[in-house]
Chains A and B, each alone.
Chain A
Amino acid sequence: MSLPFFLEIGTEELPASYLPSYASQMKEALEAFMTSAMLEHKEVVCAWTPRRLAFYCEAVAEKQAVKESDVKGPPVSVSFKDGEPTKAALSFATKVGLPIESVGRVEENGKEYLFARVKEGGNAASDLLKNKIPELIKGLRSPKSMRWDVKPTTFARPIRSLCCLLGDELIDCDLDGLKASREIKGHRFLAPGPFTMKTADFAEYEKLLKEHFVILSFEERRNIIKEQLLRFGCLEERLDEELIDICANLTEYPNCVKGDIAPEYLELPPEVLITTLKKHQKSFPCYDAKGGLEAAFLSVTNNDLKEKDLIKTGYERVISARLSDARFFFNEDKEVTLKERRERLKTVVFQKDIGTYYSKTERVACIATKLGEMTGKEDAAEIASDAALISRSDLTTAMVFEFPELQGIMGRIYAERVDKVSREEALAIEEMYKPRSAGDDLPETLPGAILSIADKIDTIIGCVTVGLAPTGSADPYMLRRQTFGLLKTIIAHKLSFKLSALIKIALELLEADSESFKKNIVSMFTEKMGVAAAVQENELGLIAESWFAPHSDEAKLEKQISSLFMGRFETVLKEEGISYDIIQAVFGSPWPDILVASLKAKELQEMKKDPEFLTLCNMLTRCVNIAKDEKKGKAAETVDPALFTAKEEKELWSAWESVKPEAHSLLENCEFGKAVKLLADKVAGPLDAFFTNVRIYADDKAVASNRLAILKSISETIQTKIADLSKIVTA
């Protein structure tokens, strides 16, 4: 026989973000327990609102399955002494739960042992659940948990009720003194109840909750919110799904109220208006049919809106106060240009061992200029370099202090409106931060791309230098993400340059700065000391000292930088559909230029489809391997045609000699496909004939080293200018 099972954990309002995790943890814990306790069961389903976690299983066996097993005990010879059972015999009897007289015997290999047939299981599901449920609840984990009243229990917020039913039966479990009952609470204000659950019927539970103004299903609450938002003026394509999720987890009976915003607030930059609504009030902006902001907002309430106007007025008042604050910040901020604000960055620390944002902007401007020279994009780099100097000034604005996520965006807005710089320069400031997250866009403009690369390389190299290279789990400055973004930007904007040169520039600038930073900080403290006579000198000394972590040694540094770049470059290539063997082949020869390496990878990936290419690969790999193996003979410095004896070697050399200049020039121009095609057309045949008909290691050592020299010449081109073809899987 099986019965339906129902459990509700009634709580005070749980943090919205904990709900899905709590529900799925408990669902899994219940299923795992039922399985391990030999209780046959169907799937456990879960649901939640801010004030309850609910679980239901359509059918759980009323009793455990029964398992019989044979248990062998100690030999009879040691079980009795003078007719009395020994310790060993008695402990066996206890273990199998039988009086010693009832323990049986079994013969095995001519020896007699104590024996019993043991039955396990058969316990009632209600007893097992009663004991286990409190333990399972206590096993649930959340980012933060608390104690309450005089109880030892810990949970995200106080648990105030438990309802646990198996069929009609109340499972009277006890959670540190909180006894299970049949009572369920409705909406806190609209229909508090409580009502009673007669039997474990989930459909009935959901229906009764609805009558008490509680919508149990997260999905349903979500859909109600979404439907109302769209009906009242949100645009489908601009719906903030994440915020909808949050609102659905903050309400039991969601209803949207639409309020008005004084039209003058539409003069604020849209980003400011939207962020104020979302971050401060979890409210949604409204749009007109053309996609422009409307002077209205939508807030998700937990109310039936019988007194709609009252609630609307309240929300309007608080949102108006928030927007008034935002406007105040905006107007205040506009009094000072970003250029003037830059001075204030001298006291804003970027990272304690690296220095201030002021010095960072100087370095970044310099890197941008150099990057322009390296790539021949001087014009764009000039814009980027100018933008770099004012790029961090928005950190000192009230708006960014209030909304850190507007960093860069406010920079762009103030640069354009207050400093009156060109549109391109202003845009570069915002684009510097891109991509902000995994799926975010890359910088679109060239100055933006150059600035973004310059800023990121400074952050990456700076952080690694002071010992903040990412470790397995820790990457506080998100260097992996920054490196990834940097590489993608280089490729997207087709910027060809030597990465190591850029790294070197960044390193040199950081090193030069680190000295002056130390001096600055010390003088900053000394100034303060003049003002603050009361603060003792030695304390200031300590602070200035601890500012400097010893730099990592250079070998380690280089390894950390190259492994960071290699790791991320591998991810970038994988994302572009490059297979593992090609990536290894590309990494097998020097890859000083990211753009070139990525183009190469793409072409090799394309060529791999061609069977002829794979044959060529094998042949060229053989050529490389022989040239590499110096045990059997060393190649001569140069090829001497006078030493040729076989026609095949003569032909191979002349074929290679004739295509070499063209092949090199193709490779210089990143025409890998064409270069390989050339080799396939002109060199593959002679090479094949050479391998088939010529004994390379001729008895005459001079002839042999001359032959090896031919192979070495070809091999060098392949190894240094193409890739390690031996890594390509040809089978």
Chain B
Amino acid sequence: MTKLEKAPTLQEIIFRLQKYWSDYGCVIVQPYDHEVGAGTFHPCTFFGVQGPDPWKVAYVQPSRRPTDGRYGDNPNRLYQHHQFQAIIKPSPVNAQEVYLKSLEAIGIDPRIHDLRFEEDDWESPTLGATGLGWQILCDGTEISQFTYFQQMAGFEMKPVTLELTYGLERIAAFVQGKDHVMDIEWTEGVTYRDMRKMFEFELSDYSFSHATLDRHWRFFTQAEQECQETLEAKIPYAAYEWLMNCSHWFNVLDARGAISVTQRTAFIAKIRNMALNCAKCYRVVKGIDKEEK
């Protein structure tokens, strides 16, 4: 950031990223209206990466991690944070340069900062997904994940999709020089605290103290059945929504410490299984693969 320019607000950062990726040729889509643990769950990524056709989208996705809830007190951990995702298939030859230019767009000049690409192998056991790439560090702070997807829902990525994930709160705190996420300027005169503190407190309180275990176990089991039956109707988008529910309810149970080590493995396997089936169904409906006899 040049010293004269005022640091962008959180919403300004989002505008600039949307503009930048729109200019690059991405379709700007909206956040998905379901609870998710990460932007990768958005159907535009989960389904979009499947098959050979080029695909470029970008969006903001609020992501919930009940175990990271800290009642809005912790300077950098949140129950719900916001990710900006850019998905580009196939990954471009100048992937790194394109990403770095986007940083300049939001006021980070890589020449005067210590900007680093440090090895980070990404894996989502629940989605049956793996990727290789880096965490991007700016003066020691992680501001993005840069991933070349190798596998999604068990399918090899051909061609390879590039996923760029910006941690919006981290970036805003970094460019604005704030020590606490709640002090981030959302827009002029409005802080993150004004907008999010009460939500963070209540949802943390709910996850750690009020979420009823027996109902959540039941929600999970019922949603799993619903997912399976919906798949039989060959409507993968509808089935996939139940997977997102399962994943979230699993996270709630986990935050309550209700899941033992062996159970965890079993539940992750269940969700992965749903993910594989959803992707398989999607590929058949889309005509990417032939139906198995």
Contact = CB atoms under 8 A, between A and B. Distances in A.
B258 to A, nearest CB: 7
Contact of A534 (B96, B134, B217, B263): B217
A547 to B, nearest CB: 8
Contact of B214 (A13, A310, A531): A531
B111 interface: yes
Contacts of B92: 149
Given A144-B121, A301-B114, A314-B138, A149 B174 contact: no
Given A144-B121, A535-B221, A349 B111 contact: no
Nearest to A51: B117
A315 B218 contact: no
B140 A533 contact: no
A616 interface: no
Interface string B98-129: 00000000000011111111110100000000
Dominant SS at the B interface?
Answer: mixed
B159 A150 contact: yes
B284 interface: no
B75 interface: yes
A349 B90 contact: no
Given A15-B119, A310-B113, A314-B139, A347 B179 contact: no
A108 to B, nearest CB: 59
A148 interface: yes
B132 interface: yes
A438 interface: no
A543 interface: yes
Nearest to B174: A314
B110 A189 contact: yes
Nearest to A257: B114
Given A321-B75, A349-B261, A146 B113 contact: no
Contacts of A534: 214, 217-218, 220-222
B118 A250 contact: yes
A318 B140 contact: yes
A303 B141 contact: no
A310 B112 contact: yes
Contacts of B83: none
A711 to B, nearest CB: 63
Given A148-B148, A301-B114, A347 B217 contact: no
Contacts of B207: none
Contacts of B117: 12-13, 50
B262 interface: yes
Contacts of B131: 146
Given A314-B174, A319-B140, A303 B113 contact: yes
A515 B231 CA distance: 44
Given A149-B90, A311-B139, A535-B221, A189 B150 contact: no
Interface string A146-160: 111110000011101
Nearest to A15: B119
A303 B113 CA distance: 7
B90 A190 contact: no
B140 A532 contact: no
Contacts of B160: 146-150
A213 to B, nearest CB: 11
A317 B113 contact: no
Contacts of A579: none
Nearest to A536: B221
Give the one of B116, B157, B213, B261 with max A CB within 10 A. Answer: B116
Interface string B231-248: 000000000000000000
A15 B132 CA distance: 10
Contacts of A156: 132
A299 B139 CA distance: 9
Contacts of A306: 112
Nearest to A145: B132
A657 B178 CA distance: 91
Interface string A336-356: 000000000001010010000
A532 to B, nearest CB: 4
Interface in A279-302: 281, 283, 299, 301-302
A528 interface: yes
A62 B262 CA distance: 64
Contacts of A257: 114
B76 interface: yes
A528 B213 CA distance: 10
Given A12-B96, A321-B75, A535-B221, A146 B214 contact: no
Contacts, number: 125
Contacts of B75: 321, 324
A147 B76 CA distance: 34
B211 to A, nearest CB: 12
B260 interface: yes
Contact of B218 (A303, A528, A533): A533
Contacts of A311: 112-114, 139
Nearest to A306: B112
A321 B91 CA distance: 34
Contact of B260 (A307, A528, A539): A528
A717 interface: no
A250 B117 CA distance: 9
Contacts of A188: 96, 110, 115
A360 to B, nearest CB: 16
A82 B160 CA distance: 63
Nearest to A532: B217
Contact of B111 (A189, A318, A320, A535): A189
B93 interface: yes
A704 B74 CA distance: 92
Contacts of B91: 148-149
Contacts of B179: 317, 320-321
A448 B222 CA distance: 53
B29 interface: no
B190 interface: no
A16 interface: yes
B141 A314 contact: yes
Contacts of A190: 111
A313 B141 CA distance: 11
Contacts of B266: 539, 543
Contacts of B118: 13, 250
Contacts of A302: 114-116
A535 B159 CA distance: 40
Contacts of A283: 140
B148 to A, nearest CB: 5
Nearest to B92: A149
Interface string B77-93: 00000000000001111
Contacts of B263: 543
A306 B90 CA distance: 37
A516 B51 CA distance: 53
A702 B112 CA distance: 102
A314 B170 CA distance: 12
B1 to A, nearest CB: 9
Nearest to B114: A301
Interface string B241-279: 000000000000000001011110010000000000000
Contacts of A250: 116, 118
B113 A532 contact: no
A318 B141 contact: yes
Contacts of A533: 214, 217-218
A381 B60 CA distance: 61
A281 B214 CA distance: 41
Contacts of A158: 95, 148
Contacts of B121: 144
10 contacts: A146-B131, A146-B160, A307-B112, A317-B141, A324-B75, A528-B260, A532-B217, A533-B217, A534-B221, A535-B217
What are the nearest 3 A-B pairs in CB distance?
A314-B139, A15-B119, A13-B117
Given A301-B114, A313-B177, 20 more contacts: A15-B119, A16-B119, A144-B132, A147-B157, A149-B90, A156-B132, A158-B148, A188-B110, A188-B115, A302-B114, A302-B116, A303-B113, A307-B113, A310-B113, A314-B139, A314-B174, A317-B179, A318-B141, A320-B179, A328-B74
